């Protein structure tokens, strides 16, 4: 238990944002449809209690087991549970809508990989922090029902269909446009994205760095993507 508490303390120091800050970040993601994986992660975070009600505190987002090296791989979500266990959740946007041999091959790879990733990460966190694997639970969250797979007998699989994800996104856009979490100076274009040219320049310069891959999200959320997900 001392090892687990040491790990929890490390997580809070590495990723100190409170839930309100993280929630605002993921609300900003809703307006940017070009990153489907991040949209799926936003949906899961904002609906965690519906799918994984035993999860309490988000300890890490997109971090490797040691918080530094990516050669160990990054875990999408690391949660503390009600009974003081660690829950690892890997997400994967599986394109179930496009057809063709390339897409079929990609879907097959994604189905297999998401289970492999979370299994390997459990061992990585266990080795790095000397936490028994019996205290680390694995879960996957995708856009396809994977409960029939053999891996799902030991790793719980939850999902939301792509159509449901897109519907949720549109509903959230309508709600968030009227709330203070989306700044008043933001203008939405015809595709529902942000008209970034209208955003206050001082604000934009403060929240965006040169290497950012998600500048619009950082601007809308007033949080640096790399502060939350880890920088280069």
Is residue 198 within 8 Å of 183, Cβ to Cβ?
no
Alpha helix ranges (H) inside 55-154: 101-129
Within 8 A by CB and 6+ apart from 9, the residues are none
Sign for the pseudo-dihedral over CA of 209, 212, 216, 221 = negative
Enumerate the domain spans of the chain: 2-25+35-177
Q: How many CA atoms lie within 13 A of 193 on its CB side?
A: 12
End-to-end CA distance of the chain: 32
Is residue 131 within 8 Å of 4, Cβ to Cβ?
yes
Beta bridge partners of 75: 63
Distance (Å, whole) CA 212 – CA 207: 10
Beta bridge partners of 194: 188
Nearest to 85 by CA among 135, 50, 127: 135
Is residue 220 within 8 Å of 31, Cβ to Cβ?
yes
pLDDT at 226: 57
Fold annotation for 2-25+35-177 = Trna Endonuclease; Chain: A, domain 1 (3.40.1350)
Q: Which H or E run includes 167? A: helix 162-176
* Tens of pLDDT, residue by residue, the chain (232 residues): 689 999 999 999 998 888 888 888 888 888 765 689 999 999 999 999 999 999 999 999 999 999 887 777 999 999 999 999 999 999 999 999 888 898 889 999 999 999 999 999 999 999 999 999 999 999 999 999 999 999 999 999 999 999 999 999 999 988 877 664 444 444 555 555 555 444 334 334 444 454 455 555 565 555 565 566 655 4
Distance (Å, whole) CA 58 – CA 77: 7
Neighbours of 24 (CB within 10 A): 18
């Amino acid at each position: 238990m001392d090892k687990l508490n040491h790990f929890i303390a490390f997580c809070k120091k590495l990723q100190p944002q409170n839930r309100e800050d993280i929630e605002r970040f993921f609300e900003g993601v809703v307006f940017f449809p070009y990153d489907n994986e991040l949209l799926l992660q936003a949906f899961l975070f904002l609906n965690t209690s519906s799918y994984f009600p035993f999860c309490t505190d988000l300890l890490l987002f997109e971090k490797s087991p040691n918080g530094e090296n990516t050669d160990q791989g990054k875990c999408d979500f690391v949660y503390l549970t009600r009974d003081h266990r660690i829950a690892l959740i890997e997400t994967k946007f599986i394109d179930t809508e496009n057809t063709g041999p390339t897409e079929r091959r990609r879907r097959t790879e994604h189905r297999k990989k998401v289970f492999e990733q979370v299994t390997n990460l459990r061992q990585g966190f266990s080795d790095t922090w000397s936490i028994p694997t019996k205290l680390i639970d694995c879960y996957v969250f995708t856009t396809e029902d994977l409960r029939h797979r053999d891996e799902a007998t030991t790793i719980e699989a939850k999902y939301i269909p792509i159509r449901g994800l897109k519907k949720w996104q549109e509903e959230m856009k309508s709600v968030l446009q009227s709330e203070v979490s989306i700044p008043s100076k933001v203008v939405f274009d015809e595709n529902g994205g942000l008209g970034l040219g209208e955003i206050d320049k001082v604000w934009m310069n403060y929240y965006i760095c040169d290497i950012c891959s998600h500048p619009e999200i950082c601007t809308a959320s007033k949080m640096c993507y790399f502060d939350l997900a880890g920088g280069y």
